[in-house]
Amino acid sequence: MKLLVVEDEVRLAQALRRGLQAEGFTVDLAHDGEDGLHRAREGDYAAIVLDVMLPRLSGYRVCQQLRHEGNWVPVLMLSAKDGEYDEADGLDIGADDYLTKPFSYVVLVAHLRALLRRGAPDRPAVLTAGDLTLDPASHTVHRGKQEIALTRREFAVLEVLMRHRGQVVPKSQILTDVWDSHYSGAENVVEVYVGYLRRKVDEPFGRTSLQTIRGAGYRLAADGG
């Protein structure tokens, strides 16, 4: 099986190659994001080990571009950042797994083997409501051909509503799906985010897809408004 390791720390990259070759893998190396993206596009790799902090093009951008192009090769991201939001960002843009440096080589190999057993995932279906589309894989939203920039939380609220388009979704369900079951704040935070969405996906286009059902919740019109 052929792997691609994209890592700008040359000694670490070479050590990974030696170790992975000893495990029976064939390994190509790239030391910056642009070269890594080029190799990932051209090579037939079983998986990619991808550092986040790379010269010329970050690992986030490399992964995001591959997913945007429909390349679903399994990606294991490596990062010196250990914040939960950094890990969430990596997974949100399409990485399949995430390890924080310094990591155990034994653990890295175990994660890689788990990825290889699962294989490349199927591309998530694009959600549509009329000319409103939401792509969970590339994390993009469009009205017709115009892309709409949303925050992570706005995107998550819209995704819940689009997965239940034409149906009333209670505030409590949105809170559980987007925040979590232990959220203890006010329910009107959902109203606030629906307001943000209306100003981005409806009002500029003269639409009314996001409907308030008083006393029940919210509904996204199945025809996109």
Which CATH number belongs to the domain containing residue 85 in this structure?
Answer: 3.40.50.2300
Query: How far is 18 from 24, CA to CA, in rounded Å?
Result: 10
Over residues 174-186, the pLDDT tens digits come to 887 787 555 666 6
Task: Between 41 and 86, name the one with better pLDDT.
Answer: 41
Instruction: Count up the domains in the chain and report the number.
Output: 2
Residue 107 placed within a domain: yes
Query: How far is 198 from 123, CA to CA, in rounded Å?
Result: 28
Query: How far is 87 from 78, CA to CA, in rounded Å?
Result: 10
Query: How far is 194 from 218, CA to CA, in rounded Å?
Result: 9
Range of the domain at 106: 2-118
Same domain, 71 and 113: yes
In this predicted structure, the answer to whether residue 126 has a pLDDT above a threshold of 80 is yes
In this predicted structure, the answer to whether residue 95 has a pLDDT above a threshold of 90 is no
Quick check: 172 and 166 in contact, CB under 8 A? no
Residue showing tokens 């894989």: 137
Task: Between 211 and 185, name the one with better pLDDT.
Answer: 211
Structural domain ending residue among the three candidates 75, 101, 118: 118
